[in-house]
Structure 1
């Protein structure tokens, strides 16, 4: 067998049987759908959601969570292949943080200082710390199972970003139920709850994505 024939034979044997990108899209869509089913079946949106949807504080929660979920999910995909490592711009993840910091500063200016701690503590901190990690469990599991088919250069980082994506998806659903709309609450409790998932993703990546 000639060299070029051998190369073609090896390439044919190693050709992917399915598109990893397509599988990633399907997995992400399935994880979101599964979370939606669990949320609407077991938790549900807040009763006054129609009224809340007319306020900027309620809507801004989704600006933050979605602006984090989309780039984090995209970044998790790019980190699974060495060839796409250069496309993994971690800096884009600070955009929702800057938005949240700006909204928090605006809130501090609008609300009397006597109410700052009231808005920060809120009334749903326990639910926030519980429901976001629980809702993130399914997306994180789906991501880690699929990402094993990739070849991440940094398994811990890839797992952590997958955890960030999963927690942002979960936070988007949880925001529909949460009565605390103040940016002071969001900037405090949402990151704390999401950090649990990020840590779990890091450990999961170290355990399951190392090659």
Structure 2
């Protein structure tokens, strides 16, 4: 390869992995992932029957999930780029998301304690076992797969952490989808079990990120 050919190849590579291209791919991944998740919900479980009447509560649950997804999205964008050995920066990047999750769990616990003893179990467990902890990662799976496609070009170096961020982001998107089905509107249920479901998605992302995000 001549010098001119090398320069041309590097220029093409830079354009290919440029910020605008990366942002565009992530936007596509989020929009398509959310739409596919909605279709998956529609054909498997359906929307809650009273979704029209319950629209304000559905919006609140979806908004809470979107807030977590927003924090996780900023983290995923930063971890998509090479970081090197910068431990303090990584801690600072994760801190807002961790604080948000802990705050949500604390709100759920405090709300539960303020209830009458006879109401606590129903508020905490909803209609039975909180299947949302598994369904949230499931409905976020289309977003996760598309985000892997989007981020592979960006050359992340902290694959486990980047995978966890992708998992948290896709989990937040999955929780937004699941909110369209979930008939439990208890603050305690949402702030605790939705966070657990998103956390499970982040854990799965951390485990799989080493393989899937390798470039």
TM over 0.5: yes
Contact preservation (8 Å) 1:161, 1:198: yes
Offset of 1:96 from its aligned partner?
5.2
Partner in structure 2 of residue 147 of structure 1: 151
| Aligned mates of 2:62, 2:52 — CA distance in 1 | 15
- 1:168 and 2:177 equivalent? no
- 1:118 and 2:122 equivalent? yes
Offset of 1:6 from its aligned partner?
8.4
Partner in structure 1 of residue 37 of structure 2: 35
Unaligned runs of 5+ in 1: none
| Aligned mates of 2:96, 2:196 — CA distance in 1 | 20
Offset of 1:201 from its aligned partner?
0.6
Offset of 1:46 from its aligned partner?
1.1
Per-residue CA deviations over 1:52-88 (Å, capped at 9, x if unaligned) read 2355xx54322321110122123212211137x8697
Secondary structure class of the residue paired with 1:164:
helix
| Aligned mates of 1:33, 1:75 — CA distance in 2 | 23
Secondary structure class of the residue paired with 1:73:
helix
Per-residue CA deviations over 1:3-47 (Å, capped at 9, x if unaligned) read 9x7885464343323612212211222111211222233322211
Per-residue CA deviations over 1:85-117 (Å, capped at 9, x if unaligned) read 8697222213354255335524542x3122112
Secondary structure class of the residue paired with 1:148:
helix
CA, structure 1 residues 124+16, in 2 after alignment: closer, same or farther (shift >3 Å)? farther
Select the residue among 193, 206, 210 that pairs with 2:210.
206
Partner in structure 2 of residue 137 of structure 1: 141
Contact preservation (8 Å) 1:116, 1:184: no
TM-score by length of 1: 0.81
Matches within 5 A, 1:1-211: 9=8, 11-17=10-16, 19-54=21-56, 58-82=58-82, 89-93=93-97, 94-95=99-100, 97-99=102-104, 101-102=106-107, 104-106=109-111, 108-109=113-114, 111-210=115-214
The aligned length equals 205
Per-residue CA deviations over 1:123-167 (Å, capped at 9, x if unaligned) read 153531332122122111111232221221210000011001111
| Aligned mates of 2:108, 2:192 — CA distance in 1 | 13
CA, structure 1 residues 8+148, in 2 after alignment: closer, same or farther (shift >3 Å)? closer
